[in-house]
Structure 1
Amino acid sequence: MNNPFKNIGPGTLIAAAFIGPGTVTTCTLAGVQYGFTLLWAMVLSIVATIVLQEMAARLGIVYGEGLAETVKKQIKSSFIRAIAIILILSAILVGNAAYEAGNISGGVLGLQTIFSESTIAIGSFQLSPLSILVGIIAFVLLFIGNYKLIERFLVGLVLLMSVSFIITAIGTQPNMVSVLKGIFTPVIPKEGILTIIALVGTTVVPYNLFLHATLVKEKWKGESISANLKAARKDLYVSIILGGLVSMAIIISAAAIESQQVANASDLALSLAPLYGSFATYFLSLGLFAAGITSAITAPLAAAYVARGCFGWKKDLKSIKFRAVWIVVLLLGVVLSSVGVNPIEIIQFAQIANGLLLPIIAGFLLWVVNKKEVLGRYKNSVTQNIFGILILITACILGARTLLKVFGYI
């Protein structure tokens, strides 16, 4: 009998990475502020994610190298190559370290809704045991260095997260006519453009392009390229669409709240309790915990893969250099989260990195997947290029708007 889960993995990890606390919070605010109106923006974000991630997966399977390794090989000028490597490394490593604090804090928020909050005083610092707990779980899984174990753990958490948020959304008994109208009728509410930018920015994640290209070649070895590509695409489509449904479920759940005093999913869980019972609180809290811990694992892992590709380290998850990268990223996240540092400035810096990085990385990706010497007959078709260029232009506009927002010009 065929195992239906045999070809599930890399795509689910990508979904696990983009549905982090940032996505949960953004979707929550979109639902609270605009109801079902911005569901169409999430649909477009999912389409863009599928288009770019398919290119990354195709690169990994056909060429057998990650995105960082391919870019390094294809840039002939040593000076331009050095600039590209520095740009990729600085943006990915610093950006992921900044977001890691948010990932861990998100996992903690989920736990705090169920368990009472407590801190440990060490001198003038107040340490959060829950932050340390989330960090330890991520550390143990990454240190074991077994890809299949990491994959299975994250697949399980994604399923938990999906069930939690979708059940919560169904429990709010949304008006399906209004939901469908929100999905199929693009409307930009007054002052809603920044929320739309945020929805796209938290779904189309730059480091996922590096992560996916590497993971598919870890997952599918041997067999024919066509068979592996077919399996990778099926995994991608199912996983990212499921991720999109989860994001939409969060928007739908938040739309049930009348009050505007909701800043994150933890507030949403508490606000839903009087209307729909304590089950809503528990399901949302589990979903937020799963979202936080999955992203807390994938962000350091992606950073380590990028560093490995840029420096040409040996392909071993247990190598000292590989471990050193993800340990630094994870440790920074745990420290910033556990000592209660206000992450606003850190997240603003990460937004700058993300705003600059996405157009550049999407540009690199489009460039290499159009090279015949890289992909041969599997290079981009005209249709794929049209979608890719539209996404690249959109990424440039969104990146510019994000930077203007961060610097206070809009």
Structure 2
Amino acid sequence: MSVETVKAEVVVVGGGMVGLASAIALRDRGLDVLLCDPGEARARTSYGNAGVISRGSIFPMSSPALWAKLPSYLRNADRGLRLRHTHVARVLPWTAHFLASARTSAWERAAGSLLPLTSAALPAHLALAERAGAGHLLRRCGWIKLYRTHAAFAGAALERAILGRHGVSFEILDPDDIRAAEPALIRSYAQGMLLPETGAVSDPGGLLEAYQQLYLGLGGRTLRMVTTGLKPEAEGWCVRHDGGTVRARQVVLAAGAASGEIARGLGYRFAFAAERGYHAHYALHPESPPLTRPVLDTGAGSIIAPMGEGRVRVLSGVELNAREAPPDYVQIEAAAQEAGGTLRLGASLDNRPWMGARPSTPDGLPVIGPAPRHRGLIFAFGHGHIGLSTGPITGRLVADLATGAPPAVPVAPFAPQRLLGWPRWNPVQGRQRAD
């Protein structure tokens, strides 16, 4: 394919789960689609995901519990969050929006907005995986949140109350229930919560590859390149890259953590940050029972997920740092040490831990919708921790927006306009506005 004169009806910038699912959905509508991506599979956040597809994944990181934990966060004393303070100062719009969102009313509102998206996530994935011949990579098995103390479990009462109000199923587990559900666990936990309306992906990278083959089989085209800018033209768009240009009637920007920088070239300054995360793979001890579903150890701030026969993936908490900064393995090393007290682990299976950057919005909601000032540009990024799980339903929404069809789920809460501007919040009155 010539990189100098390429044309398409729609160009999708970004080949992660959201971009790829969008490209598939657009091809399903009969559009000529070109997917533009550097082709670095291991660098995609979808590759490094925990593989959890849960209807209950409706809670932003900016929770009301933030205020009690803020002193430990600022000292980097909490395992779930590590700050590079100079970077946080560089993303002041994100920081201000994030703090303004850490209120009970905002948290509940965000959960209600995300519920239609997460409720459609597993059915959309199962349908797409069946088409791609990858149904064996998804299981309806639920996942478990584990609490080391009764006080920690009590501290999550608001989360359970919100889940209950929205009709999300969960089961409370006592220590005997936890041992029966997961015999592989060797650490004692005070209580747990099983969310049964959850699927798990045993190989996120393999699932992404299967979807890529499905897209190519539908006649979709790909171009391996790094996007350097978008330029509106009289009859569409010009997508610039290091080897030439691509012209299209519409553009979908779904480049994950790189989306904010690309959008800035058009004058959109989103309150946006990169949440970096790490994972490492370990074999289970030969005498250990298998781990049958992902588990979140809230005391360690990390997730352990089964990834195929006899292998588990240990995932760290969140690191707020510049996307291009060198890796900092402190969190994943701590998570791996904690995992060694949770499971009987065998040998490490990686030469070095994986690192990726999630696109983070301060209110925890993705950006899905038409660009406010440019016709023919659709934003689809900022999914944070739910990009892999909600990718297929987001792709359907993108195709709806591109073709003028009614959206499959409400998209108004995800409008780009909400993150453009500087927040002003009165902590007494609890009001927020953008100037």
Normalised to the residue count of structure 2, the TM-score between the two structures is: 0.27
If asked which structure has higher relative contact order (CA below 8 Å, sep 6+), I would say: 1
More helix per residue: 1 or 2?
1
Give the number of the structure whose residues are more often strand, by fraction: 2
